[in-house]
């Protein structure tokens, strides 16, 4: 008789945990999807800000699907003074990178071309 009571308690406990597990899985999916949407919106915003100053994007290599991380090549970036333009656009210089609303931008030179390394959300640019 005692064994039957224990079995019934286990069945009730497992049935009561089912909604909790469903909620947990649904919340996890929505949270990850929300982060991806926020990163995509930020990508678009920052790229639009940079495009106003530097013109058409030649190439954008997106390196991550979960974080905004990639390399941005512009047509007119070769001869311009990038540092002054970034500061004028509202980016704050911090060492070798520039911050704007949790976004980190670095200026790199690869194969003789200047490009931006873009990263969001950046731990360095949280404040």
- Let me know if 85 is exposed, middle or buried by CB neighbors in 10 A (0-12, 13-18, 19+): middle
DSSP-assigned beta bridge partners for residue 120: 68
Tokens, residue 86:
């970034």
Sign of CA dihedral 90, 94, 98, 104: negative
Asked if residue 120 lies in contact with residue 67, where contact means CB atoms within 8 angstroms, the answer is yes
**Residue 80: pLDDT over 70:** no
Query: What pTM was estimated for this model as a whole?
Result: 0.59
Residue 81's pLDDT band, with cuts at 50, 70 and 90, is: confident
**Residue 61: pLDDT over 80:** no
What pLDDT, on the 0 to 100 scale, is given for residue 20? Answer: 80
């Amino acid at each position: 008789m005692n064994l039957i009571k224990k079995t019934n308690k286990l069945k009730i406990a497992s049935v009561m945990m089912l909604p909790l597990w469903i909620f947990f899985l649904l919340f996890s999916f929505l949270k990850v999807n929300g982060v991806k949407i926020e990163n995509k919106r930020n990508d678009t915003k920052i790229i639009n800000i940079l495009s106003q100053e530097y013109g058409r994007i030649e190439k954008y290599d997106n390196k991550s699907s979960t974080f905004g991380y990639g390399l941005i090549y512009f047509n007119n970036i070769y001869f311009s003074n990038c540092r002054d333009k970034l500061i004028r656009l509202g980016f704050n210089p911090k060492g070798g990178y520039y911050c704007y609303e949790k976004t980190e931008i670095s200026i790199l030179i690869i194969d003789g071309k200047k490009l931006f390394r873009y990263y969001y959300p950046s731990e360095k640019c949280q404040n």
